[in-house]
Amino acid sequence: MEDLSTRIANLTPEKRALLEKRLKEKSEKKEPLAPEPLAVIGMSCRFPGGANGTAAFWHLLKNGVDAIREVPEERWPVAAHFDPTPATPEKMNTRWGGFIDGVDQFDANFFGISPREAAQMDPQQRLLLEVAWEALEQSGQTLPELRGSATGVFVGIHSHSSEYAMMQLADPAAVGTYTSTGTAHSVVANRISYWFDLRGPSIALDTACSSSLVATHLACQSLRQHECRLALAGGVNLMLAPEFTIALSQMNMMAADGRCKTFDASADGFVRGEGCGVVVLKRLADALADGDPILALIRGSAVNQDGSTNGITAPNALSQQEVIRAALQNAGVAPEEIGYVETHGTGTILGDPIEIEALTAVIGQPRPQQLPCVLGSVKANLGHLEGAAGIAGLIKTVLCLHHGEIPPQLHFNQLNPHITLANTPFVIHRKGCPWPAAERKLAGVSSFGFGGTNAHLVLEAWRAEQEEEKENATPDSEASYLLPLSARSPEALRVLVESYRRFLPEADCALADLAYTAGVRRTHHEHRVAVAGRSLREMAQKLAAYAAGEESPGVMAATRKPADRQPPLAFVFSGQGPNWFGVGRQLLAQEPVFRAKMEACDTVLRQLAGWSLLEELQREESHSRLEDAEIAQPAFCAMQISLAALWQSWGIVPDAVIGHSVGEIAAAHVAGALTLAEALTVVYHRGRLLQRETGRGKMASVELSPEEMQKMLAGYEDRLAIASINSPNAVVISGDAAALDEMARLLAQREISCRQLTVKFASHSPQMEPYRFELTKLLQGLKPQSATIAIGNDADDFNRDGRAHRRRLSRCRLLGPQRARHGALRRRHCPPAAG
């Protein structure tokens, strides 16, 4: 055999170049990494047995509830369609089903849908809209944040669930304007996107029984390809007419006793069920960054097809093996790590054995430490939800991972003789069990369509260090919290209040977390009530008082007015008053928006003044310089600017701003007339000049009218002046320290209230006259722009004129009285903010 080097040397130059290229490509090719996990951040459902919501669903599962019942009379007259003999023409051989209540009910007003359109909408559309809202609310996504976002909607729906369309189309008189959009399956997903104004992919799909798990797989792919930042995945299925049940009876698929007896020797078919489920998904990194609740992780997923088999509805064990293996590979998970599989498990005599055969080939091999793998199927509880079957299994598995527990498997008494569990890790628990002990909690979820489309997902439990730290944190028992509740109507608000009143005394959560979620992670509607309290029990008592119509301290109720009827809102920026040690520290520690703005101010002041604002605020009291004007004035201005930014981040945006003394500079920045650097330059020089007068002047508040005070200042004009007119009967005087002490004694003799302010300088007094020219020269380059928000002035008016702001700010209000603009605040109409 030729030496390899000789063979390479004998290659033509073209072949050698081709070989080098292919070897280089191979060396650079890396094994694909497991994709980023996706977080399940919210979910909701409506399932049989009163399982309205995930808490009720978990209660049903944990208690082994059989949610199957006879067909309700309002659906169809079962006696007219029933015959116990399978395949009897025009008859069904079952009287049973998994039904949900209230499919005829819909809060059309909440979604702004007219009664006429709602009546022509398929109840599946209505149900999905409500459950999608609930899932998004549980995930903490608010309506303002969702509108216009890159959020995808992926919905599985079985084409056989078109009974509402058939009912309308059967009677031409019932066909109306909204029949087409109300019954089209595509609109099941599109209506959610339309109502929430979501701009990501919006897809309704049908792969029969695997529809909703395939929809979830597509949602995962869309997130990983960054087509969307958030995704809703789900499915819906309702049984409004008997025809499809009759069709399945003709195929001998229906269990005579109306029960899915998964894995059991008595398995003889399935029972149909209905319901709706939605999960909210986000890339894990984004969920962590956004502070979203994380219920579980989706590690990987896969979808494939059976291809040609001995019948289109016949399952293919090899295809099932391949889809499970592909999902595990996609997840980067070893088969022996799986501790639970939520099987397709319909309860058919041959379908169950074929599924177990596929699982055994992939997951059922010998394991280290003989760790078990539990098998289960939610169809034994709910029936086969067809288009919503996969999402029901997914939500069940997330709940199992979250609670660390696997519920009992109903209707399992004796193993199907065609199933062999010997020498496998598989176990089936009739009474439920804790999650198998393992380093990681991992699970698989399968869903197989009767046309051959198979789907499998790999999930993992979520347990983060930061969540453990939060759970171990000791809450501040002295702190008061605000719990805001709201609804679209007074009736809905009463129901919500009563729900919270019952929930709060036994709630297993911190009051701080509850208040945060209600305040920040909920959409706020028109009808509102807010309760302040220090404990969950106190909150419950105050809600009970509100519900009973009794007055209670710390309870406020209001109705939000429409945008065109909102009264104008003004921000008032005050002048410098007495500081206190530690001012601003709590906001710096707790409010990121406030801190970010203060850090921006700090950057400007370091360059301008050579000292750090943040360092000055953090100093020990014995070393604090906050009483010095050159520090206090910029600090006070920066804190007001940062507070305004915080209010605006909460959606509280002013129509106008009004400033008093140094507050006038902060107001000018917030209104857009000054940049941050310009505003801090003004206030820095102002404080620096005031510092020169520190110790020579004083200020005092006097309860006199401006006219009366001016008379008393006769003879003191060169030493004292009115610095501020706060009301018709209250002024602040300012000036030389000795002269002010004399004036205070005169006022005391006349029994006129005079209270000296704890400041060391005399702003707005004759003492500032020597600095007028210097300050004007320092600020010559100041070029205020026209404001985007109206600014109030001494004439009790508002304007945005940049030239007017330039004149006022160039004087910087060191001289002349400041006037509280009561007239401006009383005005009923502020000019609207631009933009």
Nearest Cα residue to 752 out of 773, 731, 768: 731
Helix (H, G, I), strand (E, B) or coil at 506: helix
Q: For residues 539 and 533, is the Cβ–Cβ distance under 8 A?
A: yes
Q: Which of 384, 402, 525, 669 is catalytic?
A: 384
Q: How far is CA 764 from CA 472, 517, 684, 774, in A?
A: 54, 47, 17, 16
Q: How far is the C-alpha of 382 from the C-alpha of 393, rounded, in Å?
A: 10
What is the C-alpha separation between 579 and 619, in angstroms, rounded? Answer: 14
Q: How far apart are CA 336 and CA 368, in angstroms?
A: 8
Would you call 237 helix, strand, or coil by DSSP?
strand
Our separate counts of H helices and E strands in the chain read 32, 28
How far, CA to CA in Å, does 698 sit from each of 627, 685, 701, 744, 745?
A: 14, 20, 11, 11, 14
DSSP label at 522? S
Contact 137, 129 (CB under 8 A): no
Q: Is 260 a catalytic residue?
A: no
Rounded CA-CA distance 200/191 in Å is 13
**Residue tagged 């410098």 (tokens):** 576
The catalytically annotated residue of 193, 642, 661, 724 is 661
DSSP-based three-state secondary structure for 803: helix
Distances (CA, A) of 575 to 120, 230, 815: 61, 45, 14
Burial status of residue 593 (CB atoms within 10 A of its CB: 0-12, 13-18, 19 or more): middle
Of 45, 162, 209, 637, which residue is the catalytic one? 209
Give the DSSP H or E segment for 427: strand 426-427
Q: Are 678 and 686 in contact (CB under 8 A)?
A: no
C-alpha to C-alpha distance for 252 and 662, rounded to whole angstroms: 85
Collapse the DSSP code of 350 into the 3-class scheme (helix H, G, I; strand E, B; otherwise coil) and give the result: coil
The two three-digit tokens of residue 687, written as one number:
């404080």
- Note if 344 is an active site residue: yes
CA-CA distance, 771 to 818, in Å (whole number)? 18
What is the DSSP secondary-structure string of 551-581?
--TTEEEEEPPPGGGPPP-EEEE-------T
Rounded Cα distance between 51 and 67, Å, is 9
- CA 635/CA 625 separation, integer angstroms: 11
Whole-angstrom distance, CA of residue 678 vs CA of residue 806: 12
Question: Which contiguous run of DSSP H or E holds residue 533?
Answer: strand 527-533
Asked if residues 337 and 425 have their Cβ atoms less than 8 Å apart, the reply is no
Q: Could you tell me the end-to-end alpha-carbon distance of the chain, in angstroms, rounded to an integer?
A: 81
Enumerate the H helices of 82-210 as residue ranges. 115-119, 123-138, 143-146, 163-169, 179-183, 186-196
**Which of the following is catalytic: 81, 344, 456, 764?**
344
Non-local CB neighbours of 775 within 8 Å, separated by 6+ positions: 685, 686, 689, 811, 812, 814
User: Is 411 one of the catalytic residues?
Assistant: no
The 3-state secondary structure of 384-414 reads ECHHHHHHHHHHHHHHHHHHCEECCCCCCCC
Is the distance from CB of 684 to CB of 605 less than 8 angstroms?
yes
Q: Is 418 a catalytic residue?
A: no
Nearest-10 crossing angle of helices 536-547, 511-520: 50
What dihedral do alpha carbons 42, 403, 455, 124 form, nearest 10°? Answer: -50
Give the span between the Cα atoms of 424 and 160, in whole angstroms.
Answer: 38
Active-site annotation, residues: 209, 344, 384, 661
